[in-house]
Protein backbone atom coordinates (compact mmCIF):
# COMPACT_ATOMS: atom_id res chain seq x y z
CA UNK A 1 0.00 0.00 0.00
CA UNK A 2 1.43 3.42 -0.93
CA UNK A 3 2.50 5.75 1.84
CA UNK A 4 -0.08 8.61 1.91
CA UNK A 5 2.59 10.95 3.29
CA UNK A 6 5.08 10.46 0.45
CA UNK A 7 5.81 13.37 -1.89
CA UNK A 8 4.22 11.53 -4.84
CA UNK A 9 0.99 10.97 -2.95
CA UNK A 10 0.87 14.53 -1.62
CA UNK A 11 1.20 15.96 -5.15
CA UNK A 12 -2.07 14.27 -6.08
CA UNK A 13 -3.88 16.49 -3.62
CA UNK A 14 -2.32 19.85 -4.40
CA UNK A 15 -4.71 22.69 -5.01
CA UNK A 16 -5.33 22.93 -8.75
CA UNK A 17 -4.76 26.12 -10.73
CA UNK A 18 -2.34 27.52 -8.14
CA UNK A 19 -0.18 29.17 -10.78
CA UNK A 20 -1.98 32.26 -12.06
CA UNK A 21 -0.18 32.87 -15.34
CA UNK A 22 0.94 30.46 -18.06
CA UNK A 23 2.79 31.05 -21.29
CA UNK A 24 1.51 28.75 -24.04
CA UNK A 25 2.52 28.05 -27.64
CA UNK A 26 0.62 26.96 -30.72
CA UNK A 27 1.50 23.37 -29.80
CA UNK A 28 -0.77 23.77 -26.73
CA UNK A 29 -3.81 24.57 -28.89
CA UNK A 30 -6.68 24.05 -28.59
CA UNK A 31 -6.17 25.65 -25.19
CA UNK A 32 -8.27 24.64 -22.24
CA UNK A 33 -8.26 25.28 -18.52
CA UNK A 34 -7.34 23.46 -16.40
CA UNK A 35 -4.27 22.35 -18.34
CA UNK A 36 -3.47 18.67 -18.92
CA UNK A 37 -1.94 17.08 -15.86
CA UNK A 38 -3.86 19.28 -13.41
CA UNK A 39 -5.74 17.63 -10.59
CA UNK A 40 -9.33 17.67 -11.80
CA UNK A 41 -11.03 16.13 -8.80
CA UNK A 42 -11.41 19.51 -7.07
CA UNK A 43 -11.02 21.87 -10.01
CA UNK A 44 -13.56 23.54 -12.24
CA UNK A 45 -15.05 22.01 -15.41
CA UNK A 46 -12.83 22.08 -18.49
CA UNK A 47 -13.37 25.22 -20.53
CA UNK A 48 -11.84 25.85 -23.94
CA UNK A 49 -10.26 29.28 -24.42
CA UNK A 50 -10.11 30.81 -27.94
CA UNK A 51 -6.77 32.53 -27.37
CA UNK A 52 -5.83 32.80 -31.06
CA UNK A 53 -8.41 35.53 -31.64
CA UNK A 54 -7.92 37.25 -28.31
CA UNK A 55 -6.73 40.82 -27.91
CA UNK A 56 -2.97 40.87 -27.21
CA UNK A 57 -2.98 37.04 -27.39
CA UNK A 58 -4.10 36.90 -23.74
CA UNK A 59 -7.07 35.14 -22.17
CA UNK A 60 -8.41 34.79 -18.64
CA UNK A 61 -10.17 31.65 -17.53
CA UNK A 62 -13.73 32.60 -16.58
CA UNK A 63 -13.71 30.14 -13.68
CA UNK A 64 -10.38 30.66 -11.93
CA UNK A 65 -9.00 33.85 -13.55
CA UNK A 66 -5.79 32.15 -14.59
CA UNK A 67 -4.13 34.19 -17.34
CA UNK A 68 -2.85 32.52 -20.50
CA UNK A 69 -0.43 34.29 -22.86
CA UNK A 70 0.17 32.93 -26.36
CA UNK A 71 3.83 33.14 -27.38
CA UNK A 72 4.15 34.12 -31.02
CA UNK A 73 7.77 33.12 -31.66
Average pLDDT, integer, range 3-27: 65
Tell me how far the alpha carbon of residue 2 is from its chain's centroid: 27
**pLDDT score of 5 more than 50:** no
Parse the chain into domains and list their residue ranges: 7-70
Measure the CA–CA gap between 34 and 36, rounded to whole angstroms: 7
pLDDT digits (tens, 9 = 90+) for 26-53: 999 999 999 887 776 668 899 999 999 8
Distances (CA, A) of 7 to 2, 13, 34, 38: 11, 10, 22, 16
Q: Would the pTM count as exceeding 0.85?
A: no
Amino acid sequence: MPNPHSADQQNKFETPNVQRSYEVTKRDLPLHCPLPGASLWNSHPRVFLPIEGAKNSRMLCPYCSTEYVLRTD
